[in-house]
Amino acid sequence: MGYDTHVRPETAADWANVAALTRTVFNTPDEALLNDALRQQTQDYIALVAEQHGNIVGHIMFSPVQLENAKQIKMMALAPMVVSKVLQQHGIGSALVRAGLETCFQHKVDAVVVLGHASYYPKFGFIPASNFAISCPWQVPDEVFMLLELTPDAMKNASGKVQYLPAFAQI
């Protein structure tokens, strides 16, 4: 990651710039609308931005999810994440993921799930959620729905389907 990139907590003043970046990178308003909906549906989210020279060049959000058979386990979903197209492959996404996971750990989150690239997220310790008998609410290939335990053995006796906030059903 470039020496001039800084990862920090998102503020409400960042929302318009985050939305513009997200719409540009995804070439659709869906993920930007998802960010807005998640902010409205819960206060228990974690959002970070990557900034270079005062410009937002990346964003990551974690929102609460529940396991249908183990509601006592504190879980978050990593989604969405975005990095400026011209700055991808420069470690900004990795810095956002690492900082986000550390923030989740500090907030005593037991596990994080992600629906994402099977070749990207394992470098952070994510493995297929099916290894824990955890399933995705959508039909997706097994290797793209992953889970990372932040609390050792938190998922030891857990199983079932992950329940996302309603915002995810809207995209």
> For 67-107, how does the pLDDT look when each residue is reduced to its tens digit (9 = 90+)?
987 778 999 999 999 999 999 999 999 999 999 999 999 99
**pLDDT tops 90 at residue 2:** no
Q: Which residues contact 124 (CB under 8 A, 6 or more apart)?
A: 94, 97, 98, 101, 148
State residue 1's pLDDT score.
Answer: 53
- Smallest CA-to-CA distance from 110 within 153, 79, 75 is with 75
Q: Does domain 5-170 have CATH number 3.20.20.70?
A: no
* CA separation for the pair 112, 164 (Å, rounded): 12
Tell me 126's DSSP state.
Answer: -
pTM for this structure? 0.94
Q: Domain limits of the chain?
A: 5-170
State residue 76's pLDDT score.
Answer: 98
CB atoms within 10 A of CB 68: 13
Render pLDDT for 119-160 as a digit per residue (tens, 0 to 9).
999 999 999 999 999 999 999 999 999 999 999 999 998 999
